Amino acid sequence: MNTCTLPVLEMSCAVCAANVENKVKSLPGVIRASVNFAANTLQLEYDPEKIGLEQVRDAIRSIGYDLIIAPDNKEELQEEAGKVRYKSLRRKVIWAWALCIPLMAVSMIFMHEKWSPWIMLALTVPILFYSGGGFYVHAWKQALRRTANMDTLVTLSTSIAFLFSLFNTLFPSFWTSRGIEPHVYYEAAGMIIAFVLLGKLLEERAKNSTTSAIKSLMGLQPKTARRITAEGEEEISISLLQVSDQVSVRPGEKIPVDGTIISGESYVDESMITGEPIPVEKQPSDRVLAGTINQRGAFVLRADKVGAETVLAQIVKMVQQAQGSKAPVQKIADKISSVFVPAVMGISLLTFILWWAIGGNSDFSYALLSAVSVLVIACPCALGLATPTALTVGIGKGAENHILIKDAYALEKLCNVNSVVLDKTGTLTEGRPSVKDSYWDTEPSPRVKGLLLAAEMKSEHPLAFALTEYLTREGVTPVEPDTFNSITGKGVEVTWENKIYWAGSYKFAAARQSDLEGEVSRLSRQWQEEGKSVVYYGCDDRLLAAFAITDPIKPTSAQAIRQLQKKGIEIHMLTGDGYRTALSVAKEAGITRIKAEVLPADKEEYILQLQRNGKTTAMVGDGINDSQALARADVSIAMGKGTDIAMDVAMVTLMTSDLLLLPRAIRLSRKTVRLIRENLFWAFIYNIIGIPIAAGALFPAYGLLLNPMWASAAMAFSSVSVVMNSLRLKWSRI
């Protein structure tokens, strides 16, 4: 199965997005399709053996839209198409208002002059057929396929107003012979086009602002690289780079690909990826990441990952997919948008019939104006923009702050979390443990130490790295064992010359019936009271050594815990370490709910118990050792530093080791969800109030009738206001 995010062109409203989405979903071989109107993108999952992207594009073109499927530069093509569209729209807005100003002057000052209808006709025709021509073309395409969208509403309203005015201009005697003064409404038709186009222009500018985060991420990737060949250096597009190519990087340049330094050394600013502000020293054999900035020295790297495989490209892809996903709350708006335009057309027709039935020919003009106002004021765009604009800004805001949110569901679910479960090592603590003390039962042979080093080198547990570093520093040489076995959550064991050597926790050692009394018992209790973890090492049932390993708590962990507790969130800590070690760390962090000496299955059961008690849980871990608990939690959160993050495991990834990102992520979620609800509320209220007023609900009591011109202004304002409300999040602090 293939997944991709592709730019969609020519969409003008939320109904357009729904039309494209429904068309793509109906195609054989398409597994999932989601269209984001705010970002103008199609998120597609399909079976390449059953359907190709060209067939998807042809299907979309058949209903009046277009799709960019260029493999390498689709973002650039979308941006270029957006610029062309924006310039064309701006030009049409300028011409529309340049003609509407004299049109309004004639209609207000010279309305009783016999020549005024002809002047207004001359001014209105270019407004409708040049500035507003796109509405009529798109509406005709929709009509041919028996669908309708916002262009249909604009086309109907302006056509009715214009044709009625044209009839009254050409045949005024039809009304005067019946004792009725013929009125023309050219200014209404012209101003509807002008206001709608102005709203579209402002909407385009605002929508571009909502996607600025993803554009800034994409801007981190340089466009060219200097590849080293037998003839020397050549500057080429990064799309032409291949794995194993050698690339030269000079001071001040952005690194074009993920790779390994093979010569030279420098300091690299990785803050845009990892969030760590201090430049990192890089030497031969060190890894570097695309998008990071070389500061001082020059070096040559070997390309390990290029194009879409780089960490930066994966982050961009993840943010794009998240911005294109749909929150559960959006389903309501989607269902309403799908029937919105036909319903409005029905209300408009009913309005016209009721007015004419009640008032007769004398109120024909009122009937027509009210019907036109209903068509104009109803706008599905506000409903369609309410959720995606807030999500796009919120997820982009998270990416700017090193918080990667996998999809809209995770963002909405995170808002409701009231219980956070934290793994200890690497989450609350630095995750860089080191051996501080050791005890050997007898003077060990080099072979005994070498077997321990070999076993720990094969283990992925954080404490194993501490032992490996310690033994290597002691000059120990690894001895290759006959077999190796890692027992998750307990320890490791190897065999050598028919003997079993093992290393692990207290429970693991006790299960081997090892002698854990005497000096070892006294020392281990002392070490645990000091907050140190203890690893035991033995052979068969004999204890050989014990090691005290410390992993200091992060400077910001206690502050992050306090912030979460102030929000009314329960904090729990789970660890495989002993109770005394866990208690020491929990006390320093300010956590009262702890459980020690737990296995991966125990962590999952702990999450289940919280959920049975009605808690919405978030599990924070490294995404690998805690995979069972992460999968079980309502929201899974992985801690990482860019290259080590478990993007495929977690719903939310905190890209730095700073736990303060956790309360920020929850704060961002709550602000974004609140914005979505505000937007939906105002979009619903706008239509609930606006449509009856346009239909003339206030006329019997107050004599107020809404002019179509002002109805179009209100419609334009509704869409712009929703987008501007979402943009407030962009400038707020989390």
Catalytic residues: 423
CA distance 116 to 654: 66
Q: Are 645 and 403 contacting, i.e. CB atoms less than 8 angstroms apart?
A: no
CA 420 to chain centroid, in Å, comes to: 22
Q: Are 435 and 549 contacting, i.e. CB atoms less than 8 angstroms apart?
A: yes
Q: Within 10 Å of residue 328's Cβ, how many Cβ atoms?
A: 11
In the block, tokens 């056509």 appear at 159
Q: Are 297 and 251 contacting, i.e. CB atoms less than 8 angstroms apart?
A: yes
Q: Report residue 706 as tokens.
A: 């809404």
Helix 116-126 to helix 74-109 angle, to the nearest 10 degrees? Answer: 180
Q: Are 650 and 636 contacting, i.e. CB atoms less than 8 angstroms apart?
A: yes
Provide, for the chain, the percentages of residues in helix, strand and coil under a 3-state DSSP scheme, each rounded to the nearest 5. Answer: 55, 20, 30
Long-range CB pairs of 132-137, under 8 A, 24+ apart, other chains included: 132/92, 132/96, 132/158, 132/193, 132/196, 132/197, 134/92, 135/193, 135/196
Listing DSSP states for 309-340 in one string gives GSHHHHHHHHHHHHHHS--TTHHHHHHHHHHH
CA distance 605 to 596: 14
The HSE-up count of residue 502 (CA atoms within 13 Å, CB side) is 23
Nearest to 716 by CA among 12, 9, 11, 8: 12
**Does residue 130 sit in helix, strand or coil?**
helix
Residue 488 one-letter amino acid: T
**Does residue 24 sit in helix, strand or coil?**
helix
Q: Are 246 and 300 contacting, i.e. CB atoms less than 8 angstroms apart?
A: yes
CA distance 206 to 722: 10
Q: Are 272 and 399 contacting, i.e. CB atoms less than 8 angstroms apart?
A: no
Kindly tell me the sign of the dihedral angle through the C-alpha atoms of 642, 647, 650, 651: positive
CA distance 358 to 576: 80
Nearest to 506 by CA among 520, 493, 495: 520
CA distance 686 to 709: 17
The angle at the Cα of 426, spanning 421 to 430, to the nearest 5 degrees, equals 125
Could you tell me whether strands 652-654 and 403-405 are parallel, antiparallel, or unpaired per DSSP bridges? antiparallel
CA distance 453 to 478: 5
Helix (H) or strand (E) holding 586: helix 579-589
Listing DSSP states for 511-576 in one string gives HTT----THHHHHHHHHHHTT-EEEEEEETTEEEEEEEEE-PBPTTHHHHHHHHHHTT-EEEEE-S
Measured between its terminal Cα atoms, the distance across the chain in Å is 37
CA 354 to chain centroid, in Å, comes to: 47
